[in-house]
Amino acid sequence: MNLPFQVNLSGKVVVITGGSGVLGSSFSEALAKCGAKIAIIGRSKEKVEHVASRIIENGGEALGISANVLDKSELEVARELIHQKFGTCDILINGAGGNHAQGTTDREFFEKGDLQKDFRTFFDLDEAGINYVFQLNFLGTLLPSQVFGRDMVEKERGTIVNISSMNAFTPLTKIPAYSGAKAAVSNFTQWLAVHMSKAGVRVNAIAPGFFLTEQNRTLLQKEDGSYTERAEKIISQTPMGRFGEGDELIGTLLWLVNEQASGFVNGIVVPVDGGFSAYSGV
């Protein structure tokens, strides 16, 4: 990975939830290249240890920890392990998130007669699926902020970066639960930034546009690698005419975690979307 620019994070302890995913692993490797000690948290022990091993092989310091972001007791155990290995948390990246099929409609628009057809309408959305999406995205951001934010307020310095989505600005069709949950993440980012402002902790968020990840690949690409109808529609509404690459979020991340570069930036949600949010479709 080639960094867009270098920042000095030597001695900083970074905790990244969802750090074994496509975007999270890019964040982990980039911050390690800046000299930070990286603690990667995810549900799969194998995946987080794989990312940590890759960082260590490249000369960095990393620790993979299996923990559920929805279980505060597991997060507190992770915090103790990180204290023992690296020290207290300086930077928290809340990258855990995702969608669920049971919180997604099959069609973009409800039409007369749909109730008699064999597909999932708005009225068929499952409460458990919707709850899962809100828990994972919103509570999965709040709980790590409680656990690792405690380190920051105790030393009166630190940075939290949440991962929101363009869905938080304008909801996409079919995914009401995910759009609503990410809107909650953006709102929480602003709330927590104000709440923590007197304690020396900054809180901001990145709102990625459309990036190919393992979670959405089957929705956006066919088996032969060509784009699905939904992917073609997204590309048509993205002025830059393509999906983003994971590394294209790194510059924004480095800016937000660097006190010299963004020390007076607090409570914002930065779109990184290839112009999607600026385009009216006409």
Number of domains in the chain: 1
pLDDT for 117 equals 87
Secondary structure class of 237 (helix, strand, coil): coil
Is 5 part of any domain? no
pLDDT for 27 equals 97
Q: Which CATH number does the domain housing residue 260 bear?
A: 3.40.50.720
In 21-141 the beta strands, taken as DSSP E runs, fall at: 37-42, 61-66, 91-94
Active site residues: 178
pLDDT for 225 equals 83
Secondary structure class of 54 (helix, strand, coil): helix
pLDDT for 212 equals 81
Is 194 part of any domain? yes
Question: Per the structure block, which two tokens stand in for 257?
Answer: 């975690």
Give the Cα separation of 282 and 132 in Å (integer). 36
Is 6 part of any domain? no
User: If you compute the radius of gyration of the chain from its CA atoms, what whole number of angstroms results?
Assistant: 19
Among 166, 168, 172, 185, smallest CA distance to 274 is for 166
Distances (CA, A) of 243 to 138, 187, 207, 238, 256: 25, 26, 14, 8, 23
pTM (2 d.p.): 0.94
Distances (CA, A) of 31 to 109, 133, 148: 42, 28, 18
Give the Cα separation of 3 and 101 in Å (integer). 35
Domain that holds residue 158: 13-278
Is 247 part of any domain? yes
Is 8 part of any domain? no
pLDDT < 50 positions in the chain? none
Is 237 part of any domain? yes
Among 61, 73, 70, smallest CA distance to 96 is for 70
